[in-house]
Amino acid sequence: MKLTFLLTVLAFGLIFTAAAADTNGVIQFNHDAVDASFAKGGTLIRTNNFRVMTGRRVASGEVEIHEKDTDVFYITEGSATFVTGGTAAGTHTVSPGEIRGTEITGGEAHHLTKGDVIIIPNGVPHQFTEVSGTFLYFVVKVSK
């Protein structure tokens, strides 16, 4: 328990070292911090109401279903096929409110490229099925 707490404190310390907060609580991440996050993908900040992340993919992924989070993706580089809706097969819970699966049947395919925005409401299965090269996307997860 103490180690987990210490790691959490260190992680937030690193996040806020790379970000500058003004007197109104506005937080800005400099371009170096954002570039470093895109290099591997990760979370820039997490609060009780939202999370801001950078996504990086070079291959397809599992089906994801978020029971409480709505995902807002802004594509910054590359292209991918992204399937939403339908029925997820082979599902299992990975953490409270987070379900993963093996594939989607009957979903709708979206071809995503640089500059696109896609919003996935909570409860909707979604999956990257094809990725061309390096695919980068900015994610805002809004919790209900």
Residues 6+ apart with CB under 8 A from 86: 104, 105, 106, 107, 108, 125
Biggest CA-to-CA distance, the chain: 49
Asked whether residue 96 carries a pLDDT value surpassing 60, the answer given is yes
Query: pLDDT per residue over 24-64, tens digit each?
Result: 889 899 999 999 999 999 999 998 899 999 999 999 999 99
| Domain chopping of the chain, boundaries | 30-143
The pLDDT-based confidence of 135 (bands split at 50, 70, 90) is: very high
Give the chain's mean pLDDT.
Answer: 89
2-23 mean pLDDT: 50
pLDDT of residue 23: 79
30-143 CATH choice from 2.60.120.10, 3.40.1280.10, 2.120.10.30, 3.30.365.10:
2.60.120.10
pLDDT of residue 20: 67
Position with higher pLDDT, 75 vs 10:
75
pLDDT of residue 134: 96
pTM assigned to the model: 0.82
List phi, psi (to 5°) of 97. 80, 0
List phi, psi (to 5°) of 28. -120, 130
DSSP state of 40: H
Asked whether residue 6 carries a pLDDT value surpassing 50, the answer given is no
Helix H or strand E encompassing 4: helix 2-18
pLDDT of residue 7: 39
